[in-house]
Amino acid sequence: NAGVMQNPRHLVRRRGQEARLRCSPMKGHSHVYWYRQLPEEGLKFMVYLQKENIIDESGMPKERFSAEFPKEGPSILRIQQVVRGDSAAYFCASSPQGGGNTEAFFGQGTRLTVV
């Protein structure tokens, strides 16, 4: 039973390029969360998705960032026209359902470096 899989583990992009981060939730999990962590800082919530549905995107920057979780395939966090300040670790977590006493499980993260 594979855990949450994120790829790539490390991603280097030049300023202005696009970054695509992928997250495959654990089997049977239909809820996905994306968090960003800057060096020496805590986890910052970005977006919460169900299959084909954005539940909460209050943590997403208004421009350049988007996320999706299609019916088939992984969840994608997309960052357009990356800037140096986007360099961070991006973690994805999944949970089996909404509501109730359900914990989330994290992937190993994607470390984005913008040069």
Partner 1 sequence: RKEVEQDPGPFNVPEGATVAFNCTYSNSASQSFFWYRQDCRKEPKLLMSVYSSGNEDGRFTAQLNRASQYISLLIRDSKLSDSATYLCVVTSLVNAGNMLTFGGGTRLMVKP
Q: Starting at the edge strand that comes first in sequence, how are the strands of the sheet with 75-79 ordered?
A: 5-7, 19-24, 75-79, 65-68
Q: How far apart are CA 45 and CA 115, in angstroms?
A: 24
21-29, 62-70, 75-83, 105-113 -> range binding partner 1 (CB under 8 A) = 105-113
Q: Which of 24, 74, 91, 112 is in the footprint of partner 1 by CB under 8 A?
A: 91
CA angle at residue 44 from 64 to 28, to 5 degrees? Answer: 90
Q: How far apart are CA 90 and CA 13, in angstroms?
A: 14
Q: Which of 12, 16, 61, 102 is in the footprint of partner 1 by CB under 8 A?
A: 102
- 51 lies in the site for partner 1, by CB under 8 A: no
The residue (of 53 and 81) whose beta carbon lies closer to partner 1 is: 53
The residue (of 76 and 104) whose beta carbon lies closer to partner 1 is: 104
- 75 lies in the site for partner 1, by CB under 8 A: no
The residue (of 3 and 64) whose beta carbon lies closer to partner 1 is: 3
Q: How far apart are CA 107 and CA 9, in angstroms?
A: 10
| Site of tokens 């990356």 | 82
Binding site for partner 1 (CB under 8 A): 31, 33, 35, 41-43, 45, 48, 50, 55-56, 89, 91, 93, 95, 97-109
